[in-house]
Structure 1
């Protein structure tokens, strides 16, 4: 079964992730050593700082720079481009929102606000799901549990047909790990991302999350997670 990293910042010079192609190649090497077959390059998109069209141009340029340094001999993970889209008021009606999904899919990686959520925020997610007919993968949902009042809103979100992405490093803290498994009981499935930003600081670490999940949930769960991950990316097992 193919192993997918749903969340990374490996494209060079586009956000606070990889600074240059050399760093990007180092991150890909680490990911490959951990058994990652497909890695999603999900650069940050902030509507308050950028237009979708200019973001897509910059992302493509960064991707081309990286691709030029890859050869057929390189045993790096396959790169799928996407975006980590920061939530903003009015996002549900934004033009070209579909262009920020993972390539070849209708799946949007959405980063919720780092502030108390409101009913209006939840309603925007509902609109994206129901009216825009898009799938939503909530980026590192565990990071929002400590925001006052948000735990209740998180479980409201989990009632919707959303998908949950968890950062691998979160399994290193007992409190966060306990909350992750609590969410897992509610949702039934989660998906993993390294959210890697560099070679040394916030380096690729998907293996940590996978090991923790398999120890707790078993191999059958991992196989099902990997199969559903391929479904979300509209892929089939090679």
Structure 2
């Protein structure tokens, strides 16, 4: 009887531990598992061809349908066109500390969703940051509400770039759009990066404001952010 009881306790501990922490090698996978993630699959490119325009800007074309509408998208290095309407990245409202840089259209992903309130479309796109060093830890991510500019206000945002993804954008229970700003966590000596603090923000008026939501992730090995664990008990 005592052996059975001990075994049951051990199995319970193992079960709780396996539920509490999970290892990831993809931030997109981690973001997509959040229960209120807004975007699902990206829009497939019309072709795998990247074109050069008259001003030598590289771009690619995509098309999707939502809410009974056809949306034609031209994704460029410095701008995006939605059904002919042009949005330059330099005109987006940028999160403090973020600056627009060229996007490689060949690496770009575009997502489209429908907001429940008012059934407005929302567009998100991302692309690799061009640079050296730790540039592979950053993505240029832009969010555009009401992209065709009809029947309402358009919001054009440049989101925080560190381990960023359109898959990280949330729609909270009270109908707010939220997205994470990731910050490194350090060891006790404040010398080695051991994880990330994931703090969520929303836009209020013309200002980015934090919401009461954050979580921590831990790198499986110090200074290697590409394999990490998330402990549900830290939320």
Please tell me the TM-score bracket, short chain as reference: under 0.3
* More helix by percentage: 1
Q: Give the alignment's TM-score, normalised by structure 1.
A: 0.25
| Larger Rg computed on CA atoms | 2
When normalised by structure 2's length, the TM-score is 0.25
Structure having the larger proportion of residues in strand: 2
